[in-house]
Each structure stands twice: as structure tokens, then as C-alpha cells.
């Protein structure tokens, strides 16, 4: 029987991950120790909603940097597709490939979805903010992409 993951909650340790980025380089959660990290899960590279979300983080990147906040986007797209998306929109943060959705499952952001009467496995559009010690401090579920990055910045500044 497949292990069922429960969404990590605020105050819990963020599930560890090790994935390949757009350059085929390994990126791990522990690489961000000492700074906050936004982990956003997006369903499919270079689709309208995912592009809006990624470009929002890109456009607000200077503010994330000023606040010492890292950002990574995770999808189940292969590295080649992630690389093309990253390059096309000149994204200043890593996009990570989670083919098979194992990391997404640990964050309850990969699983059964339904669209137009069909059921399939895919990435759920959720975001987690992890503090400098590796604890989840904020969750955003079923994210609306417009101004999502601005909302995160606003919440973290409170």
C-alpha cells in the first residue's frame, strides 16, 4: 500500500527534498538553511496560470532578495521542460523537477485531480513558506496566481 502523506502544518519541520533544477544541478532544502524559503508547487510549465505565478515572483525578486527570502518552484515536469520555461521567462530563482511527484506528495501537493470529468495525477497549486530553521511558517492552498508573490511578501512583513 502506498504511503499517504498528510499536509505539513504550520510549526512542523518542512519535509526534506533533493531535486534537480533547470541546469540539472541538485538543490536541497538544507541549501537554504539560515534564510526563509518560499516553496511553490505549480502544475505545468509554460501554461497561463503557471507563467503568471512564476513571473510574479520574478518581478518581485528584488524584494525577496532584500528580505533574504529564497524561492523555488516545483512541478512534475522533466528537467528539459523546466529549463525551457526558466530560460523563456528569465527567472532568477530555481525551478525544480519532481518527476513522479514524490516531493509533491510529501507536501500534499501532488495527487489525484479532476478536470472535465477525467481523473488524473498531477501537481496541486500550493505554496509553503519555510523559516530559516526549516519550520513551516505559512501555507497557501489552492493558490490564486494573480499577486500571489505580493501577498506572500505582505504576510511575511507583518
55 part of the active site: no
Kindly report, residue by residue over 119-157, the tens digit of the pLDDT.
888 999 999 999 999 999 999 998 999 999 999 999 998
Q: Which of 14, 37, 50, 72 is catalytic?
A: 50
Cα gap 71→115, rounded to integer Å: 29
On the question of pLDDT at 12 being above 60, the answer is yes
Kindly report, residue by residue over 86-104, the tens digit of the pLDDT.
999 999 999 999 999 999 9
Considering the chain, what is the average pLDDT of its residues? 93
The model's pTM is 0.93
Describe the crossing of helices 48-59 and 148-157 by its angle, rounded to 10 degrees.
Answer: 40
Kindly report, residue by residue over 44-91, the tens digit of the pLDDT.
999 999 999 999 999 999 999 999 999 999 999 999 999 999 999 999
Residue 89 pairs in a beta bridge with none
**Which domains does the chain show, CATH number per domain?**
18-157 (3.40.30.10)
All residues at 6 or more sequence positions from 144 whose CB lies less than 8 Å from its CB, including other chains: none
Amino acid at each position: 500500500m502506498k504511503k499517504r502523506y498528510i499536509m505539513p502544518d504550520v510549526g512542523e519541520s518542512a519535509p526534506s527534498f533533493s531535486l534537480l533544477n533547470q541546469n540539472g544541478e541538485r538543490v536541497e532544502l538544507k541549501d537554504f538553511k539560515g534564510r526563509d524559503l518560499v516553496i511553490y508547487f505549480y502544475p505545468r510549465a509554460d501554461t497561463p496560470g503557471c507563467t503568471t505565478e512564476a513571473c510574479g515572483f520574478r518581478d518581485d525578486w528584488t524584494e525577496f532578495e532584500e528580505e533574504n527570502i529564497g524561492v523555488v518552484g516545483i512541478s512534475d515536469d522533466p528537467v528539459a521542460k523546466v529549463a525551457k520555461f526558466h530560460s523563456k521567462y528569465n527567472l532568477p530563482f530555481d525551478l525544480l523537477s519532481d518527476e513522479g511527484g514524490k516531493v509533491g506528495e510529501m507536501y500534499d501537493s501532488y495527487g489525484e485531480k479532476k478536470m472535465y470529468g477525467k481523473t488524473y495525477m498531477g501537481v496541486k497549486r500550493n505554496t509553503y513558506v519555510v523559516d530559516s530553521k526549516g519550520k513551516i511558517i505559512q501555507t497557501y492552498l489552492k493558490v490564486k496566481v494573480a499577486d500571489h508573490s505580493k501577498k506572500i511578501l505582505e504576510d511575511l512583513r507583518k
